[in-house]
Structure 1
Amino acid sequence: MTGRVGMKLAEMVPSAPEAAPLARLVVQAGVGWAVGGLPQTVGADRRGTDAPWDYLPLLSMKKRYENAGLRLAVIEARPPLARAKRGLDGRDAEIDAVCTLLENMGRLGIPVWCYEWMSDFNWLRTDTAVPSRGGSLVSGYDHALMQQAPPVEAGPISEDELWENLEYFLRRVVPVAEKAGVKLAMHPDDPPISPVRGVGRIMRSVDNFQRLLDLVPSPVNGITLCQGNFRLMTDDIPAAIRKFGEQGKIFFVHFRDVRGTVENFVETWHDDGPTDLYECLRTYREVGFDGPMRPDHVPTVEGDSNVNPGYSLYGRLFALGYIRGLMEGVERDGRAGTRPAQADRDGALSVG
């Protein structure tokens, strides 16, 4: 390739003051980009009837990241969308809140919104303390156990209904996102299996992600390529990266791995899974991906807490170091015969 290409190494960092030590650590580890949630609208941020997606709370949150040495690349949280996903009365008010969020992200230069279309519950695991290497802990999923769980109280919803409701949602928000200059990055269902407790799941295959892109074609309608979920959809992650990367539709990457099948899997250390992660990064470079990428669902290691499974402190540091090493190797390999790639000050390993 020619030109300047940079994969932006990012990390999920809460904006709350108590997360300041984590922010300092990830900056010390070479990260320049933050993935945030929605701000708390209490205390100093509370101004009248401001909601988390209003301008002033988002402005304050962005400033906190900047003061910590991080640039806010992604908001990975959503206003309530339960009614929108089920097509219920009141969905338009929920969609209005999303439109407000996107407009304010555009005003503040926050480029990517990561969302999902999982009705009734988000990501699911049947065990969050599976023993892994050296006594570390990872999460796992066994669909046979989940099938014994009762149906959700709201009742079943079909995949066809979810597609219909998603199209309604996108036709409302895509024009707003286009005007704001904010990219919509759909996250896969986790796990990508359907149905679960009577609830259909539609973002569960490579073909369905292409259907998403074709449903409402737009430069801002794209995906979060969560490698753990895509690994359960296909054995060829680099092919999926090429498919969507060549369309310019990968806006955000969750860099992780799993071992097993969609019905029974465990998460792995980044250096111990079945996927060739070096080849994945090489393919991202090949297709010109220059967006944010964060490690996801890291192991809990000795001396760390498993209160928030998948997001332990020491596990993150291992993952960040491993990914930085892979990135540098990919960039050096791709620049054979020229000066070595270097990490620039924003945490992106760049080519050019």
Structure 2
Amino acid sequence: MDRRRFLSGTTAAAAFALGAGETASQSAFAQTSSQGEAASKRVLLKLGCQSHPTTDAHLKYLVRYGVKHICGYPETAEGRIYSTVDELSRMRELAEKNGVTVMCVGPPALESTYIDNEKHPAIMLAQSPERDRDIEQFQTLIRNCARVGLPSIKYNMSILGVLRTGRVPGRGDATYSQWKLKDAHPKTPLTKAGHVDADAFWERITYFLDRVIPVANEYKIRMACHPHDPGVPPEGYQGVDRVLGTVDGLKRFISIRESEYHGLNFCQGTVSEMLADPGKEIYDVIRYFGTRKKIFNVHFRNIRGHRDDFVEVYPDEGDVDMWKAVQVYKEVGYPYMLMPDHVPQAPNDPEGLQSFAFCYGYIRGLIQVARSQT
């Protein structure tokens, strides 16, 4: 019998089609089950990436390793928070030319930046009228993304940025980023933000959401906020209470301005860093936010350790069972990107391209196995 004809008529077609990409595998599923069963079992996970820059050379690098969905970064003129329709369109057209879909946009503000170095600090410093001007620019970005057909924007509401205490040896010549609270010694007692207790931080978050989420609702743009990385003790760090550094804080966050377009850039690594025993606890956290459809992106990285004491490792060697995590994302019907993040560094891999490539292959393999089991 002709091999192709044989495969097309059996369940083996689904596994065979995996190598041909998502469209072929979904077609195979449709042939081997009823429409209703396929809809309930289909794996919608997508291998993605949020690495800079969105250039032709970098897009070709991503496609080389099977990445066809990204968070993109348009070339935005200096001084503006919003990207114009033309700037967004050029980015999208360049991506599509390379066979890549832009699923999310990263703006040049509300990044995971230490506030003393932030170019646009007014929103997080509660500086009026400057923060109203910056929020208006975010509203413009939402409208422009809708006009170009870009469905999501990621952002941070951070003052301290990403806190780490150094690097430690990893496997081979790689080094891993570490956070050990007992060894943390900030350069200054306070940032330029001064003391920001929980009430003040929640006021700033709510002020932003009250003005941005209604626009996101109107234009149907998902707003994905990253948790605080890492969490700190209740008394704060450098005078700041990181209210998005606990699972309870994230639960409160998504309840403000409840909307299907208000959710999380769910950094699995950062959320693992909040937990006493991430290898046991992370799966129920994924279920909580996933069943409520509040996960808009996933930073799919692993750690070794726990709250206040951890290192960021390759995805196959940490305390979290990444295959089990994929099964939970599948269980809750999560349909967007799994992206590597904070990859290990090595002397001969200064931009982390080799580490990213390893992570792409690892994630792609997990997704393919998940599809083969539907």
Q: Which residue of 1 aligns with 2:340?
A: 295
Go from structure 1 to structure 2 and tell me whether the alpha carbon gap of 1:297 and 1:5 turns closer, same or farther (over 3 Å shift).
same
Go from structure 1 to structure 2 and tell me whether the alpha carbon gap of 1:154 and 1:213 turns closer, same or farther (over 3 Å shift).
closer
Conserved 8 A contact 1:241-1:283: yes
In the alignment, residue 31 of structure 1 is paired with which amino acid? V
Determine the C-alpha separation between the residues in 1 that align with 2:54 and 2:341: 20
TM-score by length of 2: 0.80
Whether 2:73 is the aligned partner of 1:28: answer: no
Q: Which residue of 2 aligns with 1:149?
A: 187
Conserved 8 A contact 1:34-1:70: yes
Which of residues 250, 258, 267 is equivalent to 1:209?
250
Q: Could you tell me the percent identity over the aligned residues?
A: 31
Determine the C-alpha separation between the residues in 2 that align with 1:221 and 1:241: 16
Q: Which residue of 1 aligns with 2:47?
A: 9
Offset at residue 242 of structure 1 (A): 0.8
Go from structure 1 to structure 2 and tell me whether the alpha carbon gap of 1:173 and 1:51 turns closer, same or farther (over 3 Å shift).
closer
Whether 2:200 is the aligned partner of 1:183: answer: no
TM-score by length of 1: 0.85
Q: Which residue of 1 aligns with 2:197?
A: 158
In the alignment, residue 98 of structure 2 is paired with which amino acid? A
Offset at residue 2 of structure 1 (A): 4.3
Structure 1 residues 200-349: aligned runs within 5 Å: 200-234=241-275, 235=278, 236-301=281-346, 303-305=348-350, 312-333=352-373, 335=374
Conserved 8 A contact 2:245-2:274: yes
Go from structure 1 to structure 2 and tell me whether the alpha carbon gap of 1:154 and 1:233 turns closer, same or farther (over 3 Å shift).
closer
Q: Compare the two structures and name the one with the higher helix fraction.
A: 2
Conserved 8 A contact 2:84-2:141: yes
Q: Which residue of 2 aligns with 1:67?
A: 97
In the alignment, residue 36 of structure 1 is paired with which amino acid? G
SS of 1:258 mapped into structure 2: strand
Per-residue CA deviations over 1:177-211 (Å, capped at 9, x if unaligned) read 11111101110101122522112211111111111
Determine the C-alpha separation between the residues in 1 that align with 2:267 and 2:54: 25
In the alignment, residue 84 of structure 1 is paired with which amino acid? I
Conserved 8 A contact 1:86-1:162: no
Which of residues 124, 128, 135 is equivalent to 2:173?
135
RMSD over aligned CA atoms reads 2.0
Offset at residue 69 of structure 1 (A): 2.1
In the alignment, residue 200 of structure 2 is paired with which amino acid? E
Offset at residue 332 of structure 1 (A): 1.7
Go from structure 1 to structure 2 and tell me whether the alpha carbon gap of 1:152 and 1:300 turns closer, same or farther (over 3 Å shift).
same
Determine the C-alpha separation between the residues in 2 that align with 1:211 and 1:163: 10
Determine the C-alpha separation between the residues in 2 that align with 1:270 and 1:30: 17
In the alignment, residue 192 of structure 1 is paired with which amino acid? G
Q: How many residues align?
A: 319
Q: Which residue of 2 aligns with 1:343?
A: none
Higher relative contact order, chain-length normalized (CA < 8 Å, sep 6+): 1
In the alignment, residue 201 of structure 2 is paired with which amino acid? L
SS of 1:297 mapped into structure 2: coil
